[in-house]
Chain A
Amino acid sequence: MKARVTVTLKNGILDPQGKAIEGALKSLGVDGIASVRQGKVFDIELPGADKAKAEAALKDAADKLLANTVIENYRVEVLS
């Protein structure tokens, strides 16, 4: 089974890296971008076919390590 965990900064948390990327896009002349926030994507493979079990394991992984919930939110998706 393939899954994806996406970790993003919570609203209101300053993201200087996102801001720098935003500035770089502007200086490259890429138009129509209002703002950029940087996050992380984890592509994860799991054995077995039990979707509920996979989701529970991914949530556990995100809570324990992948995200710091002081500043980050995460989303778990089982892809196939």
Chain B
Amino acid sequence: MKSAVLVFPGINRERDMARTLKLVSGHEPAMVWHAETALPKGTDLVVLPGGFSYGDYLRCGAIAARSPVMDAVRKFAADGGLVLGVCNGFQILCESGLLPGILMRNARLKFICHDVHLRVERSDTPFTRGYNAGQVIRVPVAHGEGNYAADAETIKRLDGDGRVLYRYCSASGEVGDTHNINGAAQSIAGIVNERGNVLGMMPHPENHVEDIMGCTDGRGLFAGLAAHLERAA
């Protein structure tokens, strides 16, 4: 696995992400500054970490989505490369047009910072193959704008085409308004693009990968990606 972690001004989760990628895959990721116009040769996974790029000015992720490195990411994705965006990374992917829809202010306006349960909707994708379909995992969230919204037609297509990979749920896997922490359409926590090679998700799987963190449920996502890429190589 040869991953690249993008670094935008105001991002603050890039080291957590890099640490997790190294821990799970054994390979040190490249840290790529937003002003770069190319990704390192041989990159097979691009990761957009969480944080507050450009202080969330204008709209979350809006300015980072227009930075030079994103043209390279768009080309990488168009060629079938795997892209993972977490939290602010998800917002940047939506703003850049790589994923449909937008992350709006949380329905109850509060910044939410605690563990949540996610239901893994399917296991036959590079982003979920480390889990079983229907499995419930516990990972933290930390966001003020995670309320996924899109037009009704898009939501219907995401649902119908199996592009919702992660949903907010109860500890036993029930999906519903009580467990939908931020008001997201259809309790969406993570979606992929049409081709299935770009995932955006609000929760932080990279923060639940070691026993010292109290939980290792996030590890499956990265282990699955590493296994997928090793197989492809």
Give the interface of A toward B (CB within 8 A). Answer: 13-14, 16-17, 20, 64-66, 68, 70-71
Asked whether any CB of chain A lies closer than 8 Å to the CB of B22, the reply is: no
Please name 5 further chain A to chain B contacts, defined as beta carbons within 8 Å, in addition to the given A20-B109, A65-B63, A70-B150, sorted by A numbering.
A17-B109, A64-B66, A70-B100, A70-B101, A71-B149
Q: Which residues of B have CB within 8 Å of A65?
A: 58, 62-63, 66
User: In the bound complex, what is the Cα–Cα distance between A14 and B147 (angstroms)?
Assistant: 10
A-B contacts counted at CB < 8 A amount to 34
Asked whether any CB of chain A lies closer than 8 Å to the CB of B105, the reply is: yes
Q: Which residues of A have CB within 8 Å of B101?
A: 70
Most buried by B among A13, A14, A66, A68: A68
A16 contacts B108, C-beta separation under 8 Å: yes
User: In the bound complex, what is the Cα–Cα distance between A17 and B104 (angstroms)?
Assistant: 10
B106 contacts A68, C-beta separation under 8 Å: no
Q: Which residues of B have CB within 8 Å of A70?
A: 100-102, 149-151
Asked whether any CB of chain A lies closer than 8 Å to the CB of B206, the reply is: no
User: In the bound complex, what is the Cα–Cα distance between A66 and B150 (angstroms)?
Assistant: 19
Chain A interface, >50% SS class: helix
Q: List 17 A-B contacts (CB under 8 A).
A: A13-B104, A13-B149, A14-B104, A14-B107, A16-B104, A16-B105, A16-B106, A17-B105, A17-B109, A20-B109, A64-B66, A65-B58, A65-B66, A68-B62, A70-B100, A70-B101, A70-B150
Closest chain A residue, CB of each to CB of B65: A65
B105 contacts A68, C-beta separation under 8 Å: no
Asked whether any CB of chain A lies closer than 8 Å to the CB of B95, the reply is: yes
Asked whether any CB of chain A lies closer than 8 Å to the CB of B59, the reply is: yes
Closest chain A residue, CB of each to CB of B101: A70
The minimal Cβ–Cβ distance linking B152 to chain A, given in whole angstroms, is 10
The 4 closest A-B pairs by CB, nearest first: A70-B102, A16-B105, A16-B109, A71-B102
